[in-house]
Structure 1
Amino acid sequence: MKLIDSIPLSTFVIAALTLGLAPFVPEPHVWEKLKMLASGTLSRPIDMFDLAMHGLPWVLLIAKLLHGARPAEG
């Protein structure tokens, strides 16, 4: 978690909004892949890789936000 703590929150926000949503038209790529996952049609390895790569910025942003919301130990 030290690595996540050392990176500013703004970096994670920018990554999630740009890399996480690209391409924007006709719909965000990560949203398309999540819909495929929910419907059970996410079966090709390239689609799984796509979901992982477009979802990673969102996972890191959520991890940063959750870790920052924890009460301080001490």
Structure 2
Amino acid sequence: MNWLDKISFTVLIVLSLTLGLAPFAPEPHLWEKLKLLASGDLSRPIDIFDLVLHGSAPALLTLKALFLLKRST
């Protein structure tokens, strides 16, 4: 994935920490949306958008790490 190789790990880590944990109080949106998804209550479009927005950077970071591990073996 050439486009994913162009994004540095530093950028993805910073994005994952800021977007994944924002807002920092009372609980991060990503955690809240994952709990809604697990309970089956994630139905409002704004909640789905929030899950995609706050979860995209951690998902890209995970993909990049997995592709790097696969490439090194």
TM-score category (smaller protein):
over 0.9
- Aligned counterpart, 2:34: 34
Residues in 1 aligned to 2:17 and 2:72: alpha-carbon distance in whole angstroms: 29
Question: What's the offset of the Cα at 1:72?
Answer: 4.7
TM-score norm. by structure 1 comes to 0.91
TM-score norm. by structure 2 comes to 0.92
Residues in 1 aligned to 2:69 and 2:35: alpha-carbon distance in whole angstroms: 29
- Aligned counterpart, 2:2: 2
- Aligned counterpart, 1:52: 52
More helix by share: 2
Q: C-alpha deviations, 1:34-69, integer Å up to 9, x for none?
A: 000111111101100110100000110001100111
Moved over 6 A (4+): none
Residues in 2 aligned to 1:28 and 1:45: alpha-carbon distance in whole angstroms: 18
Residues in 2 aligned to 1:68 and 1:25: alpha-carbon distance in whole angstroms: 33
Letter in 2 for 1:57: A
CA RMSD after TM alignment: 1.3
Question: What's the offset of the Cα at 1:71?
Answer: 3.2
Residues in 2 aligned to 1:71 and 1:25: alpha-carbon distance in whole angstroms: 38
Question: What's the offset of the Cα at 1:20?
Answer: 1.6
Unaligned runs of at least 5 residues, structure 1: none
Residues in 2 aligned to 1:71 and 1:16: alpha-carbon distance in whole angstroms: 23
Unaligned runs of at least 5 residues, structure 2: none
| Count of aligned residue pairs for this structure pair | 73
